[in-house]
Amino acid sequence: MAVYFFALFISFIINSALIIPFINFLYRLKFQRVHQKTRDVFNKSTPVYDRYHSHKTGTPVGGGLLTVITTVFLFSFFLLLFILFNRPIQSNYPSVISEIKIILFAFISFALLGIYDDLRKIFFWQKDQFFGLRLRHKLLFETALALIISYWLFSELKIDIVHIPFFGVYEISYFYILFSAFTIVAFANAVNIADGLDGLAAGVLMIALASFWIISRSILDVPSSLFIGIWLGGLIAFLYFNIWPARLHLGDAGALSFGATFAVIGLILGKAFSLSIIGGVFVIEIASSLIQLIGKKFLKRKIFPVAPLHLWLQLRGWEEPKIVMRFWVISILFSVFGLMLAFLK
C-alpha cells in the first residue's frame, strides 16, 4: 500500500508546484469565464443562475486540464517503474493492457470533448449563437465515446454482470453495453452540473474516489489503485485553489473527464450498484436537473422553482460555502453506506 500513498504524495507535490504557473498561463490565454447571460437547453434565459454566478466572471476555467495531463503522465511513469523493477501489475481481468487502455481513453477522450466545449464558450461564442455545444450535440459525442468504452468493457474485460446486494448477480449479456454507456454519460454530465459551486464537484469527487480506492485495494487491482491514487493527489492540489472563493474552475474539460472516468472505474471494479450510492450527490444533482428538463419539455411548466438542487438552495438563501460543506458531509455518508453495500456478498 505504501507505493500507492507515495504515488498520491508525488502527484500532489507536482500539481501543487505547477498549478500557480498554470493559473497565470490561463490568464495570459484569457481562458476565463466570459460575461454572458446564460441560457438553458431550450435557449431561454436563466436569471437566477446569473444572479448568483455573475461575480465569477473572469475566473480561469480549464483547471481540470492540468490534473488530466499530470495524472496521465504520472500513471504512465509509475507503470514503467513497475515494469523496470519487475513488480507485478496485477489485474482482475484477462488483459491488464485493456484495463489501462479503457481508463486512459475515458480520461483523455472526454477531456478533449470538454476542451472543445470550453473553447466554443470562451472564444467562439457570439451573442446571437447558442452558448457552447447544444445539449443534443454534446450527448451525441458523449454517447459515441461511452459506447466505445462500454464495448471494450464487455468484449475485452468480459464484464457482463451487475451485482445488486441482497438480490444477487445478474448476467445481462449485450445489454451491459447500453447500461454501461448510460452510466458513463450520466456521471459525466452529473459532475459537470455539480461544478456550478466552488469546491462542490471536486470535493465530492475526492470523497467518492477515496471509497473506490479502498475497494480497488481490497481486490488487489493495481491499475485502478495506482490511477486513483495519482488522480487523488492532483485533485487535492486542485481543490486547494477551487474552494470558495475559487481561483480556478474545472471547466468542461475536467468535469466531463472526471465524471466519465469515475463511472468507468466503478464499472471496472464491478460495483455498478454501489457507484450510484457512493456518487449519490452527483445522482441527486443530475436527477433534479433531469426532472426539471422533463417538466419543461412535456408538461410545459417547471417542477422546481430552479434546478439543480444546489441552485435551489442558493435561491432559498443558503450561502455557497454552506451548501458545499453540507454536500461534502452528505457525500461522506453516501460513501460509507456505499462501501458497506460494496462488501456485501
Q: What is the pLDDT of residues 121-142, one digit of tens each?
A: 777 654 444 445 777 888 999 9
**Average pLDDT of every residue of the chain:** 90
pLDDT band, residue 300 (cuts 50/70/90): confident
pLDDT higher than 90, residue 106? yes
pLDDT at 184 over 70: yes
**The predicted structure's pLDDT at residue 131:** 47
Task: Determine the pLDDT at residue 128.
Answer: 44
- Residue 112's contacts (CB-CB under 8 Å, 6 or more residues apart) are 253
pLDDT band per the 50, 70, 90 thresholds, residue 44 = low
Give me the pLDDT at residue 132, please: 54
- Res 96: pLDDT: 94
* The three grid cell numbers given for residue 317, joined into one nine-digit string: 438563501
Is residue 70 scored above 70 in pLDDT? Answer: yes
pLDDT band at 196 (very low <50, low <70, confident <90, very high): confident
- The angle subtended at Cα 43 by Cα 37 and Cα 45, nearest 5°, is 40
Residue 122 is predicted with a pLDDT of: 77
Burial 119-143 (b: 16+ CB within 10 A, else e): bbbbeeeeeeeebbbeeeebeebbe
Please give the share of the chain, as a percent, with pLDDT higher than 90: 70
The four Cα atoms 237, 238, 243, 248 give a dihedral, to 10 degrees, of 140
Distance CA 206, CA 210 (A): 6
CB count, 10 Å around CB of 80?
10
Q: How far apart are CA 288 and CA 309, in angstroms?
A: 6
pLDDT at 305 over 80: yes
**pLDDT category, 58, cuts 50, 70, 90?**
confident
CA neighbours within 13 Å on the CB side: how many for 169?
Answer: 10
Does this model's pTM top 0.85?
A: yes
Task: State the pLDDT at residue 37.
Answer: 54
Read off the DSSP letter of residue 55: G
Task: Quote the pLDDT of residue 17.
Answer: 97
Q: Which residue has the cell 490511477?
A: 227
- What integer is the mean pLDDT of 167-182? 93
CA 301, 307, 311, 316 torsion: positive or negative?
A: positive
Top-confidence range, 8-12, 84-88, 112-116 = 8-12
Least confident range of 27-41, 84-98, 233-247: 27-41
Q: Which residue has the higher pLDDT, 220 or 34?
A: 220
| 181 has a pLDDT exceeding 70 | yes
Q: Give pLDDT, residue 123.
A: 73
Nearest Cα residue to 142 out of 189, 103, 202, 205: 189
% of the chain surpassing 70 pLDDT: 91
